[in-house]
Amino acid sequence: MVVIALITSLIALNSSSSVSAQEADEGGLFARGSNRTAAGAGHPTAGIPPRPTPAPTPTPTLAPTVNADLVWGYDDTPESSSWTRPPRFELVTDPMYGTPIQRLTNSDAGRWNRNDYSRRQAESLDGTRFLSHVRDFDNVETFRVYNVDGTLVNDLAINADGEPQWHPTNSDLIRHISGPNANRGDLTLREINVVTNQSRVIADLTSRLQAVWPGAAYMKDREEGSPSMDGNRYAWIVYDGNEDALGIVSYDLATDQILGTVPIDPAAGFLDAVTATPTGSYVIAHYGAGTFVYDADLTNRRTINLKGDHSDVALNADGGDSYVYIDYSTGPDAGYLVSVDLDTLERIRMFRVYGGTTTSIHVSGKGYDKPGWVVISTYSCKQLGGWACDKVFAAEMVPNGRILNLAHTYNCDEDDYYTEAHGVVSRDFSHVYFNSDSAQCGRGAEIYRVDVPAFD
């Protein structure tokens, strides 16, 4: 079952400024944003207090030398009982798997400072910056951009449900929608400079979509979508002013063309999310009664499965699009992580979690430079001691494929959506960003980054 909590005054900041003392020591929040609600409605704008004079951030500790052998397979080694929360940006090693790992953010002065989702890329394409999602104790949310050395770039002047996506080549730019509802949203795609906080419209679909649906008012992918890996192809759900879904649109930014539209299918139940696939050849729609794949022009609908589970789109070893999901049904694939080739609909059972390691799973297929692999992060394990419990690992997209264990998550409050691990892999498959409350129930989620060792 997909569990989803859906939850501009501009800030002009110098990108070379270091993190303030509060940010360095407490994860202080100088937030502009909104209260995320399940319906995505009602997002009052918060004022922005002046930022204190910045103080230098301590130089991150150099990485220790790690020569540990890679740990492959269904390893059930438990978490270390002596593990403790490391200081921010001190680079340590996972005690069980020997991988370099850092805590990147603090939640001490806020409810959380976390990775937003496993299907939204946290790291910019060149690896110089990363994105976090913060909420303070007044429930004010914002997206925040850091340099990888820990210095703060900016709190983004976008809606807290703005669905940010890194530009495919420029780490100064993030693309986003205006908002998640009729009050905040519209039918445009925008681009914000993370240094200057200036945003501009890069695509306006208003007249074209209103020619199809006269009542069209805004669009969104509902937090779980992503563009094609070249940043050109998008899919959104189009809504009217009464917050009712009208249909799906597929769009190509490079040519400024609407590739196709299709009305909502009421018989398929609630439309939970849509996404483009990595190559841009397909669009995935997650309905309550099934997950469907369309061609890019929104024709030729085929059924992937008869429900919606935690999943992501990824590149398979042949460079084509696949859909990877955990099957929480009672059908023939029950309990398996399944990869579906979207060209052929051929199904592959990657591994099984039912029976001995039943756990909840998030999938990240964003490591496009290593096709044929995804990253899995687990939480809320129902059988303690199971091999897949409470960890982050890489999984090969072949039958009974290889498993590379990367790190334990040391999460305490795993039944809180906002402290679920939500691990996301970088495009080059060199890092995984994931959430943890550092084994302290009640602490807000913080971002950890584990370095993925090179492997074939």
- Percentages (nearest 5) of helix, strand, coil residues in the chain: 5, 35, 60
CA separation for the pair 30, 147 (Å, rounded): 17
Provide the residue count of the chain: 456
Please report which helix (H) or strand (E) contains residue 210, including its range: helix 206-212
Tokens of residue 268, six digits? 């398929």
Is 257's pLDDT higher than 90? yes
pLDDT recorded at residue 331: 86
The residues facing 261 across adjacent strands are 249
| DSSP string covering 377-412 | EEES-SSTT-TTTTEEEEEESSTT--EEEEEE---S
Say which residue, 387 or 10, is predicted with more confidence.
Answer: 387
Q: Name the architecture of domain 21-451.
A: 7 Propeller (2.130)
Which string of b and e fits 79-99 if b means at least 16 CB within 10 Å? beeeeeeeebbebbbbbbbbb
| Whole-number Cα distances in Å, 96 to 77, 269, 406, 430, 453 | 7, 44, 9, 19, 14
Long-range (24+ apart) CB contacts under 8 A made by 435-440 are 435/112, 435/114, 435/115, 435/409, 435/411, 436/409, 436/410, 436/411, 437/107, 437/411, 437/412, 437/413, 438/85, 438/103, 438/410, 438/412, 439/83, 439/85, 439/410, 439/411, 439/412, 440/85, 440/412
Report the range of poorest mean pLDDT among 137-141, 142-146, 243-247: 137-141
Name residues whose C-beta falls within 8 Å of residue 454's C-beta, 6 or more positions apart in sequence: none
Is 3's pLDDT higher than 70? no
pLDDT recorded at residue 412: 84
Is 8's pLDDT higher than 80? no
pLDDT recorded at residue 52: 32
pLDDT recorded at residue 341: 98
pTM for the full predicted model = 0.85
All structural domains of the chain with their residue ranges:
21-451
Report the range of poorest mean pLDDT among 79-93, 148-162, 173-187, 403-417: 403-417
CA separation for the pair 321, 341 (Å, rounded): 6
Quickly tell me which residue has 């992918």 as its tokens.
221
pLDDT recorded at residue 248: 98
pLDDT recorded at residue 278: 98
| Whole-number Cα distances in Å, 2 to 23, 186, 377 | 33, 26, 15
Dihedral through CA 180, CA 185, CA 191, CA 195, nearest 10? -70
Tell me the pLDDT band of 385, cut-offs 50, 70 and 90: confident
Percent of the chain with pLDDT over 90: 72
Tell me the pLDDT band of 354, cut-offs 50, 70 and 90: confident
pLDDT recorded at residue 353: 86
